[in-house]
């Protein structure tokens, strides 16, 4: 055997022919498919690629590698999502393990496949796996094994022929033959192996385990004539069907049977027949095996010259045999594919290791950034809270700044009433003043109050000022009918300073009756409040001030503007104040326009 391989490798034509193999065979595509699937992390495609590799190895009788690839395929499938696929691949794995006599592992995987069958409601497959699981159980008796296999055959044959699982049917006949071998019922084994071989021949199913089993049964039966008759029938049938592999096997079996029966004159022709058929139609493995059988016979019977002649014949025909032998080339290419996949897996593991290290670093970095961001957020929120608190304090301070000014003016009026001995008016004034102060104090801690409450305060204030200035002016308040004063919010003490300016810096200087008009309307988004008077206006008022009055800077208008700015910042609002003098001829006075959003986030 070693000599043959050395001779084979030295043949230039052999290497030339193998170099002519197409660069795009399925064995070269498989690593590419797996590589793409691994790159895209597509588990279904990865599983499919490993399953295909397992199938190819199983077809070439590389059972260990087939088992490895089926196991890898299973790892990439989801038990809930891929129950049907898992059932099929797990069954393949169990079948390969059984072929290697790993019966306990096979039993467990047939059991797993059975669970997947139940999960996917595959009843027919469940029956097959149930029978195979029971057959591989260590304490299952031979009659029980036989019954399970026969039941499986019945289950398969009950399906319409077009849908029958021929692979399972062939395996079942082969398994039944195996049980017959255990029973030493070689004739029954031969019959069942023959049935399996017939199914295989009709369906072109690859099976490398059946031929040696047939040969074992034929050679071990006590009735050699029966075995010879069976082998002749097999040869004749194979010849008629032009099944050259079966012809070679049948010829080899006949040669060994005739030699065993000491019919040497018939044994040699059949040995030569199997060798010649192998050279013409067989694979490299078949040709080498039949050559060894022939030369063993020649050596045993001291026919040295014939042995040398057969070697020469083999060497001469070897290039043609190699070129024709797709299985031999498939094995070579599959070995190359395995090497590529092994390197690919090693590369993938290295990439995963690098990725894990990178991910850990990234996780640490992200965690650090999260902690830093969290700390900065806390600091920023604390800063915002402090800023908000400071603005609240500033706003409250500005509101309270208005109260002493108003109280001082009011007490001056009370003092004036008392000095003129008008106690009745003084008492009435004090009563209204106390009511106003109570309402103002009730609302003093609120940034916004209802329009309803603000109007009550303004009316009370204007009534007091009318009394103070001896009815020198009149006022009117106009509210659009569609405005509900109890539904709208406005800044606290935002209108009173403008009314005070209208009275003290405008109307008090005119000789005619003063008029103050307050109008309230709204648009789609804003509440609009306008205060209008017929006083002398700001510019004329400044000219009438004494030197002492000019040195004292009023805080009313600036106070309101500062409060509006703070309110806009605190509540992210758009409150706007506009004040201007009347510009038309023969008209004097001031117009104050306040615009407040209808939707305020004041919670």
pLDDT tens digits, 501-558: 899 888 988 989 999 999 999 999 999 999 999 998 877 877 776 554 554 455 667 8
How many whole angstroms separate alpha carbon 197 and alpha carbon 189? Answer: 12
* pLDDT value for 573: 92
CATH fold for domain 386-597 = Heat Shock Protein 90 (3.30.565)
Close Cβ partners of 201 (under 8 Å, ≥ 6 residues apart): 238, 241, 243, 246
> For residue 269, what are its two tokens?
């022709």
Q: Give pTM, 2 decimals.
A: 0.46
How many whole angstroms separate alpha carbon 193 and alpha carbon 164? Answer: 19
Residue 376: burial class (beta carbons within 10 Å; 0-12, 13-18, 19+)? exposed
Residue whose C-alpha is closest to residue 231's, from 279, 204, 263: 263
Report which DSSP code applies to 206.
-
Q: Classify the phi-psi angles of 563: left when phi > 0, otherwise alpha if psi is within -120 to 50, otherwise beta.
A: alpha
How many whole angstroms separate alpha carbon 280 and alpha carbon 2? Answer: 22
Q: Between vectors from CA 293 to CA 292 and to CA 296, what angle results, nearest 5°?
A: 80
* pLDDT value for 430: 84
* pLDDT value for 434: 85
Listed in order, the ranges of the chain carrying CATH 3.30.565.10 are 386-597
Q: Which residues of 422-454 are buried (b: 16+ CB within 10 A; e: fewer)?
A: eeebbeebbebbeebbebbeebbebbbbbbebb
Q: Which residues of 520-532 are buried (b: 16+ CB within 10 A; e: fewer)?
A: beeeeebbebbbb
> For residue 18, what are its two tokens?
């193998």
Listed in order, the ranges of the chain carrying CATH 1.25.40.10 are 223-324
Q: Which residues of 543-564 are buried (b: 16+ CB within 10 A; e: fewer)?
A: eeeeeeeeeeeeebeebbebbb
> For residue 119, what are its two tokens?
């999960």
How many whole angstroms separate alpha carbon 135 and alpha carbon 150? Answer: 11
- Tell the CATH superfamily of the 223-324 domain: Tetratricopeptide repeat domain (1.25.40.10)
Strands (E), 537-583: 576-581
* pLDDT value for 100: 87
How many whole angstroms separate alpha carbon 490 and alpha carbon 495? Answer: 9
Q: Which residues of the chain have pLDDT under 50?
A: 1-24, 548, 551-552
- 249-267 per-position pLDDT tens digit: 888 989 999 988 899 899 8
CA atoms within 13 Å, Cβ hemisphere of 209: 19
The gap from C-alpha 116 to its chain's centroid, in whole angstroms, comes to 24
Q: Between vectors from CA 257 to CA 251 and to CA 259, what angle results, nearest 5°?
A: 105
> For residue 381, what are its two tokens?
């929120």
């Amino acid at each position: 055997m070693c000599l043959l391989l050395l001779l084979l490798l030295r043949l230039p034509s052999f290497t030339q022919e193998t170099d002519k193999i197409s660069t795009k065979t399925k064995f070269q595509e498989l690593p590419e498919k797996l590589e793409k699937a691994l790159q895209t992390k597509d588990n279904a495609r990865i599983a499919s690629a490993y399953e295909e590799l397992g199938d190819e190895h199983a077809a070439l009788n590389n059972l260990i590698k087939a088992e490895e690839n089926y196991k890898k395929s299973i790892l990439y499938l989801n038990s809930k999502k891929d129950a049907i696929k898992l059932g099929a691949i797990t069954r393949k794995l169990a079948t390969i393990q059984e072929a290697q006599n790993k019966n306990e592992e096979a039993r467990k995987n047939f059991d797993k496949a059975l669970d997947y069958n139940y999960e996917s409601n595959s009843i027919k497959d469940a029956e097959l796996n149930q029978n195979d699981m029971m057959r591989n159980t260590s304490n299952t008796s031979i009659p029980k094994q036989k019954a399970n296999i026969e039941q499986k055959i019945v289950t398969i044959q009950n399906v319409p022929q077009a849908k029958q699982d021929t692979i399972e049917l062939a395996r079942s006949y082969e398994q039944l033959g195996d049980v017959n071998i255990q029973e030493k019922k070689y004739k029954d084994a031969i019959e069942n192996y023959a049935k399996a071989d017939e199914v295989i021949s009709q369906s072109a199913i690859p099976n490398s385990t059946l031929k040696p089993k047939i040969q074992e049964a034929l050679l071990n039966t006590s009735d050699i004539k029966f075995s010879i008759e069976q082998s002749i029938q097999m040869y004749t049938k194979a010849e008629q069907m032009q099944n050259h592999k079966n012809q070679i096997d049948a010829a080899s079996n006949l040669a060994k049977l005739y030699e065993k029966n000491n019919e040497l004159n018939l044994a040699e022709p059949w040995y030569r027949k199997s060798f010649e058929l192998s050279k013409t139609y067989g694979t490299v493995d078949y040709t080498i095996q039949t050559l060894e059988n022939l030369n063993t016979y020649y050596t045993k019977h001291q026919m040295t010259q014939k042995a040398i002649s057969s070697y020469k014949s083999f060497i001469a025909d070897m290039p043609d045999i190699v070129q024709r032998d797709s299985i031999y080339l498939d094995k070579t290419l599959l070995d190359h594919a395995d090497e590529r996949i092994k390197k690919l897996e090693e590369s993938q593991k290295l990439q995963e290791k690098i990725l894990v290290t990178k991910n850990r670093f990234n996780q640490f970095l992200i965690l650090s950034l999260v902690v830093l961001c969290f700390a900065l957020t806390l600091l920023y929120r604390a800063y915002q809270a402090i800023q908000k608190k400071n603005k609240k304090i500033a706003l409250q301070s500005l509101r309270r700044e208005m109260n002493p000014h108003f109280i001082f003016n009011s007490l001056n009026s009370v003092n004036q009433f008392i000095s003129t001995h008008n106690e009745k008016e003084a008492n009435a004034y004090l009563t209204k003043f106390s009511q106003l102060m109570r309402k103002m104090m009730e609302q003093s801690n609120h940034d916004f109050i209802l329009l309803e409450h603000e109007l009550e305060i303004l009316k009370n204030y204007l009534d007091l000022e009318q009394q103070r200035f001896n009815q020198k002016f009149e006022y009117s308040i106009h509210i659009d009918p569609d405005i509900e004063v109890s539904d709208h919010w406005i800044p606290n003490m935002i209108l009173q300073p403008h009314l005070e300016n209208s009275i003290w810096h405008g109307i008090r200087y005119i000789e005619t009756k003063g008029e103050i008009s307050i109008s309230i309307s709204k648009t789609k988004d804003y509440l609009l409040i306008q205060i209008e008077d017929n006083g002398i206006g700001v510019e004329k008022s400044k000219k009438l001030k004494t030197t002492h009055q000019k040195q004292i800077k009023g805080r009313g208008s600036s106070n309101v503007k500062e409060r509006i700015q703070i309110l806009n910042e605190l509540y992210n609002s758009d409150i706007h104040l506009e004040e201007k003098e009347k510009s038309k001829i023969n008209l004097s006075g001031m117009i104050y326009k306040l615009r407040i959003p209808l939707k305020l986030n004041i919670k």
